[in-house]
Structure 1
Amino acid sequence: MVGITERKKAGKELQAAYEQLAADNEELRARYDILKVSQQRIQKSEQDYRSIIENMQDAFYRTDLQGNLVMVSSSFTKVFGYSGDGEVLGKNFHDTFYINPKDCEEFFMQLGISGEVKEHRIALRRKDGSTVVVSATSHFFSDETGKPAGVEGILRYMRDAVGAEEALLRANKKLSLLTGITRHDINNQLVVLNGYVGLLQTTIPDPAYKEYFSRITKASSQIAAMIRFTSEYEKIGTGSPVWQDLATVLDRAETGILPGQVSLWNELAAGTEVYADPLIVKVFFNLLDNSLRHGQRVTEIQVSSHRSGEDLVVVWEDNGVGIPAKDKERIFERGFGKNTGLGMFLAREILSLTGITISETGDPGNGARFEMVVPTGMWREGGESRNVK
């Protein structure tokens, strides 16, 4: 009897356990179905989100708190000239795309104050070094705990700005053509004028007229100098700034004009590039011309560079007579000097287009020393030091 009772009791317990297991299994199935539906919704949401990001016209980006890109849209890579997101993910947005460091500072100042930036117009750098103007709308985004995780936003390509820039380029070309023709005509008339002055000097050898002829000739020379100045100055800023290897630029500047008795030591690091006007080669040409013309006893010129904080300092120095203290700033004025007085003026103008400054810091009597300070963001490096005689 005891055995039968125990078996019946065990059977009931087994039945109850089975029924509980079936109920638990049914609940698990229900939860699984709910989880599956939820997962499908999440996947659909992610697909929709990715589709929106990939097909939006504006360039979407997301960075971590250090400014490193963690997500970009296809339009982002197209706007900036990259073949795919693999080329940009992990790059630092500030170092890679900002042209002017002040724009970056202003952007994050606004972002820090209000947590967002709306329609902030900035000029950024494409892969090929060209400039693209965008309108940035960005904000901080948070992680699952609510803490700031980075910055995300959209960059709207300013097509109107580009159209206006192209219109300006066309207008500049027309103006350049007109001024070129005008300069040509004026130069022709100066040739005629100088020819007649020469004839008059031969026809009228009277010393009483010598001073008048001298004044006419001097005025003609000044007009010719003004024409040359307009020709040189007109070229500044007509080409977009580009990345240029400093050592290569210096080689181009001194090729064919360096006298045999003068040694030029190019100690610029190979691969050090600056973002500057294409005419930067004329800066080095004018520095060389200045050393050869005014150094009097120059036999050596040394060009080097070093860091100063985040800036790059490019140094040009020779072993000539140097620059008098009273003339250190005046040499950059238009018209100052024994010749045209344009060389160093144009050099400063060319460099200033991308925020590069130039000053003379040498000791009078111990050679000229020019320092060009390239601000952060306007230079980059990627090679070993180079020393060529």
Structure 2
Amino acid sequence: MLQATLRVAPITFRNREAALVLLTDLTERLILEKELEYHAEELKRYSESLARINGKLTIMNSITRHDILNQLTVLLGYLEIAEEECRETEVMESLSRMKFSAQNIREQLEFARDYQDLGVREPQWLDVRWQVARLRQDDITITTKIRRLEVYADPLFGRVFYNLLDNAVRHGIRVTEVRVTTRIEEDGAMSIVWEDNGIGVREGEKEKIFRRGYGNNTGLGLFLCREILAITGIEIRETGECEKCARFEIRVPKEGYRIVQKPATVPDRA
């Protein structure tokens, strides 16, 4: 069935009054609009169905991880007891390897949890000093003079500093101090600098350490750091000196940070 619009407008043609009649065929346009509406409804139904399925999978994964982590805690506890009571060298070595494997499994499960949450929630403005102030590690002093800096990042942003501290403990060997400072670059970007007094990173490994699976342990911590930061265009690189220090520079683009008027109240220990 033909569907059209009719428009009539008065005009003057050769000094005579006339009428301009415009007839527009809307049939194909209306058919296309109905098809688009139909496909939009279909897409909505598929999206809702997919959201329900993802929700169920997320719940199942969370429950499964929780149960496995609980069992790993029990396993690690018994391995600790077995190591204390064992007197045979070969058996102790086997127990040590079992403990190492169990710890790696726990870390992989925790990584899977964080990676699943990566990018799920909207980025937000986060106080950098507060994220650093939450860190605690025996025998390591963490200092920072950052006061009023906020960055626009994924809510998992705090995990970056946690993983950098864990990396210092695992690989820095002699780390006793960590300093977190900032500087503004020539192009207006902000660099957050994390520096420790450990043994540093060898020249040929400065980029490799961010690869998934690289290193002596699970090789997931620094990989996750880069993934978290990349969501909002933040970069991270290692610029320290081998045998002197490890230094991680987190480069925040000009539009990705702001200086707030009042710093958040945080513990004095940071």
Instruction: Indicate the residue corresponding to 1:278 in structure 2.
Output: 155
- Letter aligned with residue 246 of structure 1: V
TM-score scaled to structure 1, two decimals?
0.46
Instruction: Indicate the residue corresponding to 1:289 in structure 2.
Output: 166
Distance between the aligned counterparts of 2:269 and 2:193, measured in 1? 16
Match of 2:122 among 226, 231, 240: 240
Distance between the aligned counterparts of 2:232 and 2:44, measured in 1? 19
Residues 317 and 368, structure 1, Cα contact 8 Å, conserved in 2: yes
Instruction: Indicate the residue corresponding to 2:232 in structure 1.
Output: 354
Distance between the aligned counterparts of 1:165 and 1:266, measured in 2? 45
Distance between the aligned counterparts of 1:212 and 1:360, measured in 2? 35
Match of 1:382 among 257, 260, 266: 260
1:117-148 CA-partner distances (Å, limit 9, x unpaired): xxxxxxxxxxxxxxxxxxxxxxxxxxxxxxxx
Gaps in structure 2 of 5+ consecutive residues: 1-42, 77-92
Instruction: Indicate the residue corresponding to 2:207 in structure 1.
Output: 329
Offset, 1:214 = 9.8
Bigger relative contact order (CA 8 A; separation at least 6): 2
Q: 1:341 aligned to 2:219?
A: yes
Offset, 1:346 = 1.1
TM-score scaled to structure 2, two decimals?
0.64
- Percent identity between matched residues is 43
Distance between the aligned counterparts of 1:279 and 1:382, measured in 2? 21
Gaps in structure 1 of 5+ consecutive residues: 1-160, 195-210
Residues 272 and 383, structure 1, Cα contact 8 Å, conserved in 2: no
Other structure's SS at 1:380 match:
strand
Other structure's SS at 1:365 match:
coil
Give 1 or 2 for the bigger CA radius of gyration. Answer: 1
Residues 239 and 248, structure 2, Cα contact 8 Å, conserved in 1: yes
Other structure's SS at 2:245 match:
coil
Distance between the aligned counterparts of 2:49 and 2:198, measured in 1? 48
Distance between the aligned counterparts of 2:64 and 2:75, measured in 1? 16
Offset, 1:314 = 0.7
